[in-house]
A and B are shown apart, each in its own frame.
Chain A
Amino acid sequence: MALWPTGAVQHSNKNISSQMRYASLPREIVCTENLTPWKKLLPCESSCGFSALLNSRMIHNTNYHSIGVNFRKVCANKDCSEIKFEIKQTVALVYDYKIIGSIDWSFKKLFGQGLPGACPLASSSKVYVDTTTNDTQPFKLVPPPDSMILSQRGGSDTNIAVYNIKANRQMINIGAKNEVTNKLTVTVPPPLHFNRYVLGYGKEFGGIVTELTNNFWTPINVVLMENAPWWLPIQLSSLRINGEAESDLVISQFYSPGRSRQKPYHLELLLKLPPRSTTTITIDFEFVFLKWQEYPPDANHGFYIGSALISANLPTARNYTSLPITGSTFSSVFNASKPWYPAVLRTNGAMVSLPTPDFSMPYNVICLACTVVALAFGPLHNICTKELVLKPNGKPLSFTQKILNLFKKKKD
């Protein structure tokens, strides 16, 4: 329910949802070594075009960074009888004013250098700057944009400044200068936001809580997808929406239990979030004991649980920049009003601390067992096979007895 193919599919394919494959690596670190092969997919690599801006020291010094590769089949002609392939590479960066030092931004401040011209192989290279906040927080764009576009989408107006970048190897540095620098900005929360955390203490039970907040004045439909690994069995019986096991907020539900060491646990909920409210979804899990070989080298660090996936059908397009499904470039966003605006969002990940054994135990066990056996077996064998006989006094002592007597305490 949560994910649907974004490409053009054949009508006859009825089993499309059974062909979905989902994988996530919650522990993976994203660094320059991921950026390098990403850049290699581009025809101009990093010599010119936007990828030349991706200076890894600058873009990894951000609050949030993400790179993506999307590959799909698109319609090549109007009636979609022929298809072609589209590969879309995305970079999302969230900078903090505190990191760049001022509320004025420019390419040099964000990326360390200006844009060295467009890629000569590109049929179009454009930079879009959202200038809607110019009314409340006036700023000036330097250099002045080539054109301004007003986009009305879903009831919200957006002013966008457009720069046409040419492949003339000229360095261009786009930036904004704020006119008033001491105004406080109030951020308006988006229509849908969420939080996720892990509940519980001890090493027997725990729970995952996802809080979805609907700030909009109409209900929003979302699909929440939880894909828990096999070592974190989530119990469907413990599912509670706002504290109740049965809730009429749930329109549809899909649960596929996992199997130990074979399949993960898959839960999908189609919810209708009531307006201006927070919905809390809680589900419990229990801890399992892993086999000794299944622990990673730093087992005491904890195990990461991947993020939950929230697929939402937003009724408003405010601050919404996703492309419509038929579009390929950003210009398809302008005035692209639709009844609904689908968005796929991911929550933050979480970490649990599984009960980890003491890894020095095998050595300890061997030592202990050997000692016990050695100490216990000797006397046992002696009792079974030897007989205590009183020795008459006065018999001549052997040499070894004399030496042993030297070490014994004199009995008085």
Chain B
Amino acid sequence: MSLKEAAERDRERSIIARTNATRRFFNINALYTALLFITWISLNSAVKIPEQFQKSNHTNNWAVLVDTSRFWFNYRHVANVLSIYRSVKRLGIPDSQIILMISDDMACNPRNPRPATIFNNAHEQINVYGDDVEVDYRGYELMENFVRLLTGRVPPDTPRSKRLLTDEGSNILIYLTGHGGDGFLKFQDSEEITSQELADALEQMWQKKRYNEIFFIIDTCQASSMYEKFYSPNILATASSLVGEDSLSHHVDSAIGVYIIDRYTYYVLEFLENVHPNSDKTMSEFLAVCPKSACLSTVGVRRDLFNRDPNKVPITDFFGSIRPVIITTDPINILEIPKRKRKTEKKTKIDEKRAYLPQFPMHLVQATV
């Protein structure tokens, strides 16, 4: 072998060695980085980062649940809205902060073979009508009162339980169900509310500082057309179908004889039954609750007006109820016992004697006899 060849061989060997070394080096590096990566991932998922949820700044929760259709064959819409009512009550929102509007009576309807009950499942396990339901608006009262309720322009003699007494820290859940079309929602077969009117009503609420955030759910045909015109901030909206699609019902209960629940609400309910007041499920899980295979219509979401990431918003922000509680650490130590001056009642008037009156005008009978 010549020197050149030996040098060549050496060079080759060194090159191979070097490449081997670099290869090993890279291998080790890769292994090292892979190890680091795995540790980082496992750390992230194992440790629940306290800032997983974006901080919300609401102080109370309200819910407005509306069923807009009338007549026995629309039983499923009443079952829809009562199912949501039940879930929302179970998760903590008190009745005084839920406005429930039902257009027609299904539970005590003469056509209902199971009186005083409304079921949302053919197995008839849960009576969503329940024993302590409080319906705020029923029957004909729904006609124009939905927009009045949202904007606060109710007649002056409306009782407090029928008013939406929200303030700037309220998170409101709005759920609408019934029959709808492209750009409108039908109220009781005789009136309509257009998407523009709804958008204007929500804007007026924003102007008057009547909400902090709104979660808007609508389960009708062509539902997403109702939220397209929204322009107020802090609204997250979802609909059971897009424009041009129909929302379908789920199944028939042959004992009752009508469709008893809609697809979208059925899957929403399945999801909500697994949510408890301390749940850490997020809003984005809720928004993905009904894929096209289950719902047969595409669920629409509008998130551009909502400034938080739905991935980081807990579901209890809208479905649960928060009530800030401040512990009292400084009660007043009352040393002087107060005594209020009583208004002396004038006892100068003699109390008049009272008596019971006869319950039948026999004096008229005696007079003529």
Contact = CB atoms under 8 A, between A and B. Distances in A.
Interface of A: 1, 4-12, 16, 27, 29-33, 36-37, 55-57, 59-61, 73, 75, 79-83, 221, 223, 251-252, 270, 272, 296-298, 311-313, 325-326, 340, 342, 344, 359
Given A60-B108, A270-B364, A297-B190, A33 B134 contact: yes
Interface in B354-369: 354-362, 364-365, 368
Contact of B138 (A33, A252, A297): A33
B353 to A, nearest CB: 6
B140 to A, nearest CB: 5
Q: Which 6 residue pairs are nearest across A and B when measured between Cβ atoms?
A: A31-B108, A342-B359, A60-B116, A297-B190, A8-B354, A297-B188
A10 B116 contact: no
Contact of B107 (A7, A31, A340): A31
A72 to B, nearest CB: 10
Interface residues of B, number: 42
B291 interface: no
Contact of B354 (A29, A80, A313, A325): A80
- Which of A5, A6, A31 is packed against the most chain B CB atoms within 10 Å? A31
- Which of B129, B131, B139 is packed against the most chain A CB atoms within 10 Å? B131
B277 interface: no
15 contacts: A7-B356, A9-B356, A10-B354, A11-B354, A11-B355, A29-B105, A29-B108, A32-B129, A36-B131, A55-B131, A60-B115, A61-B115, A79-B353, A221-B360, A298-B189
B351 A297 contact: no
A193 B353 CA distance: 38
B118 to A, nearest CB: 10
Contacts of B140: 296-297
A16 B357 contact: yes
Given A31-B105, A31-B107, A57 B115 contact: yes
A33 B368 CA distance: 48
Interface string B132-143: 111100111001
A32 B189 contact: no
B117 interface: yes
Contact of B356 (A8, A12, A81, A270): A8
B42 to A, nearest CB: 51
A16 B357 CA distance: 10
B354 A221 contact: no
A174 to B, nearest CB: 23
B358 A32 contact: no
Interface of B: 70-71, 105, 107-109, 114-117, 127, 129-135, 138-140, 143, 187-191, 351-362, 364-365, 368
Contacts of B361: 1, 4, 223, 252, 270
A214 B132 CA distance: 43
Nearest to B191: A297
A82 B351 contact: yes
Contacts of B115: 57, 60-61
A325 B134 contact: no
Given A6-B356, A29-B108, A83-B354, 17 more contacts: A4-B358, A5-B357, A6-B359, A8-B354, A9-B354, A10-B354, A11-B353, A32-B107, A59-B116, A80-B353, A80-B355, A82-B351, A221-B362, A297-B191, A298-B70, A340-B362, A342-B360
Contact of A251 (B114, B133, B364): B364
Contacts of A7: 356
A325 B356 contact: yes
Nearest to A322: B359
A31 B356 CA distance: 34
B133 A32 contact: yes
Nearest to B356: A325
